[in-house]
Amino acid sequence: MKNNNPIGIFDSGIGGLTIARAIKRKLPNESLIYFGDTQHLPYGDKSSKSIVFFSEQIINFLRTKKCKAIIVACNSASSYLPISGDYQNIFNVIDPVIKYLKKFKKLKIGIIGTKATISSKVYFDKIKSLNRELSVEQMSTPLLVPMIEEGFVNEIISKTIIKNYLTRKQFEKIDKLILACTHYPLIEKQIAEVCPEIEIINTVDIISEFIKKSLKSLDLLSLNSSPKYDFYASNYTNSFEKTASLFFKEEIKLKEIKIWS
């Protein structure tokens, strides 16, 4: 595997762009290939079997692009994809956050995510196995991803939905909140306005720092001074292209490609 080969990143939609942007900032020499499975958006309401099938097809596609590492920038996919054996140099977005929580004691941790992520109990089980001193409350928030994908992030309706979720009784006296969906950092400001007393854990920064350390330990950091960024989607949307351009502060040409077999 060559150091200057690209890093592959995928998600069901624009959420994984939060990870891609963080990787670009943290590792400016790295070339990136991003795949958004907009045809099957959102993954959060799909079966675990479907999520694994879609993810494996995308991973195979990214391997044809000679990616030296692949980031599963989707919590729903990370919840069910068995990353071991043939999944060498593939990173999920859950384990780095779990490891970060190891240092905390006697806190109440809140977790919000898609139906798929929350029903998998992956966060709950991994946190409890790592640190039994932490109390965990998790909540499925299925309306947030469609709301974000449609661009409703600063509207009255979006603030109402966020408030409805986060002011429920089970989330009383939460100390720290995990945004267990890569879409959710896009509405972090709105969440903070609803719950100013709760510390939101910066999962994007934690994940990007973990990737940097991992690539360094594998001696796979790039020295490329002219990195390239390629964007693919299973179903072209103009809004996706505009959002990617906004995130990367340069014109992005989104390519539609069908990879399903």
**Domain regions of the chain by residue span:** 7-92+205-256, 95-203
3-state secondary structure 199-220: EECCHHHHHHHHHHHHHHHCCC
Backbone angles phi, psi at 55, to 5 degrees: -65, -45
Flag whether pLDDT at 87 surpasses 60: no
Q: What is the pLDDT of residues 195-251, one digit of tens each?
A: 899 999 999 999 999 999 999 999 999 988 899 999 999 999 888 898 889 888 888
Lowest mean pLDDT among 154-158, 168-172, 191-195: 154-158
Q: Where are the alpha helices (DSSP H) in 69-114?
A: 75-80, 95-100
Flag whether pLDDT at 84 surpasses 60: no
Q: Which CATH number fits domain 95-203: 1.10.150.120, 3.40.50.920, 3.40.50.1860, 3.40.640.10?
A: 3.40.50.1860
Query: What pLDDT score was predicted for residue 64?
Result: 96
Separation of alpha carbons 116 and 142, rounded Å: 9
CATH of domain 7-92+205-256: 3.40.50.1860
Percent of the chain surpassing pLDDT 70:
97
Q: 85: pLDDT confidence band, cut at 50, 70 and 90?
A: very low
Q: What is the pLDDT of residues 173-201, one digit of tens each?
A: 899 999 999 999 999 999 999 889 999 99
Mean pLDDT of the chain: 92
Q: Which residue has the tokens 């905390």?
A: 104
Lowest mean pLDDT among 44-48, 105-109, 207-211, 248-252: 248-252
Query: What pLDDT score was predicted for residue 2?
Result: 85
- pTM to 2 decimal places: 0.94
Percent of the chain surpassing pLDDT 90:
76
Query: What pLDDT score was predicted for residue 101?
Result: 93
Q: 157: pLDDT confidence band, cut at 50, 70 and 90?
A: confident
CB 79 within 8 A of CB 94: yes
Separation of alpha carbons 80 and 148, rounded Å: 23
Query: What pLDDT score was predicted for residue 193?
Result: 92
Non-local CB neighbours of 88 within 8 Å, separated by 6+ positions: none
Query: What pLDDT score was predicted for residue 155?
Result: 79
Residues marked active site are found at 74, 181
Sheet holding 7-11, edge to edge: 90-92, 69-72, 7-11, 32-36, 229-233, 254-256
CB 232 within 8 A of CB 33: yes
Query: What pLDDT score was predicted for residue 86?
Result: 52
Separation of alpha carbons 110 and 45, rounded Å: 21
Q: For residue 212, what are its two tokens? A: 């940097």
Separation of alpha carbons 102 and 237, rounded Å: 40
Flag whether pLDDT at 78 surpasses 80: yes
Q: 37: pLDDT confidence band, cut at 50, 70 and 90?
A: very high
Three-class SS state of 154: coil
Residue 252 has what DSSP assignment? -
Fold agreement between 7-92+205-256 and 95-203: yes
Lowest mean pLDDT among 70-79, 149-158, 165-174, 179-188: 149-158
Q: What does the pLDDT average to over 46-68?
A: 95
In the chain the beta strands, taken as DSSP E runs, fall at: 7-11, 32-36, 69-72, 90-92, 108-113, 135-140, 176-180, 199-200, 229-233, 254-256
Separation of alpha carbons 28 and 31, rounded Å: 8
